[in-house]
Structure 1
Amino acid sequence: MQLTTHTDYALRLLIFMAVRKDSTPARVQDAAARYGISANHVAKVAQTLVQLGYLHSFRGRGGGLALAMPAESINIGALVRRTENLRLLECFGPDSTCPIDPACVLKRALAEAQQAFLQVLDGYDLSDLVVNGDVLHELLGRP
């Protein structure tokens, strides 16, 4: 399964937020610069993460982003479920037009594989992804 760029950037932004040692809100531009990605893309991802309750956004001078909950409370499987369209094929939706849908073993196999993928991600939270926080902090240029 391939994750979208949106989910990739969501995970990167959350990692950036979790390894920060500064208590002031983080700026989208800083995260984008550290990863070498578009600030506009990161801003859209940040907006999604704010809407989903993973980040707080503060406006005005001194504003920026902060984690809305402890890293231990951010489950990676749940995040992927909330940011991805998990419909692998047309037949995964309610409007399947495939004539073999009722007897399709491939659909069942793909659904099982997808569940296994998500089940592995369910075993991780954000704190697991930043267990090497000092190294990540250095690699990201001391965010």
Structure 2
Amino acid sequence: MRLTAFTDISLRIVMRLAVARREELMTTRAVAGLLAVPYAHAAKAVARLSELGLVEARRGRGGGLQLTEKGRRASVGGIVRALESAGDVEIPEGAVAYLCGPLPFMRDARAQLIAAGVAPRDVHYEVFGPDLWLARGQEQD
């Protein structure tokens, strides 16, 4: 899997904050310097991680960045799915999607495509294993 630079920077920020002491507050500028990434890119990633509830960003004197409890419990896969969701991609009318991958990925991608207006009949997938959607009562239409 190839990650976007944005997701890479975001994951590196989460990992750096995960090893920080609980009382240690790091600024976005400090994290950008440690990771050798442009400040603007780090600031954008911090803003998105904050929107997702993974990072708490406090401004002003005594402020800084910390992982939230949700951020400490989050899986790498969950963070990647949240950052690379189809919600950030404009889906053209009449789009047809072809998916192949692990079932959790395909379930999430299918749900996002349908929420974005793609008809369920236009979402095609190749599953290596049992058809777990039918077992869970989710029909394909």
Distance 1:86 1:22 in 2: 33
Query: CA offset at residue 112 of structure 1?
Result: 2.5
Unaligned runs of 5+ in 2: 107-141
Unaligned runs of 5+ in 1: 102-106, 120-143
Q: Where in structure 2 are the equivalents of 1:1-143 lying within 5 Å?
A: 1-21=1-21, 23-69=23-69, 72-86=72-86, 95-96=94-95, 107=98, 111-113=99-101, 115=102, 118=105
| TM value normalised by structure 1 | 0.61
Query: CA offset at residue 49 of structure 1?
Result: 0.4
How many residue pairs get aligned? The number is 104
Distance 1:4 1:67 in 2: 22
| SS at 2:100 equivalent | helix
Percent sequence identity is 28
Question: Which one-letter code corresponds to 2:62 in the other structure?
Answer: G
Q: Which residue pairs with 1:138 in the alignment? A: none
Distance 2:7 2:60 in 1: 27
Query: CA offset at residue 118 of structure 1?
Result: 4.5
Distance 1:22 1:78 in 2: 23
Distance 2:71 2:28 in 1: 19
Quick check: 1:25–1:66 contact (8 Å CA) kept in 2? yes
Query: CA offset at residue 73 of structure 1?
Result: 0.9
Distance 2:103 2:8 in 1: 19
| SS at 1:33 equivalent | helix
Query: CA offset at residue 22 of structure 1?
Result: 6.2
Distance 2:26 2:105 in 1: 29
Deviations 1:57-97, CA, capped at 9 Å, x for gaps: 1111111111111665111111111100459xx9x876226
* Aligned-pair Cα RMSD in Å: 2.8
CA spacing shift, 1:75–1:36, aligned 2, 3 Å: same
Q: Which structure carries more relative contact order (alpha carbon 8 Å, separation 6+)?
A: 1
Distance 1:76 1:68 in 2: 15
| TM value normalised by structure 2 | 0.62
Quick check: 1:77–1:118 contact (8 Å CA) kept in 2? no
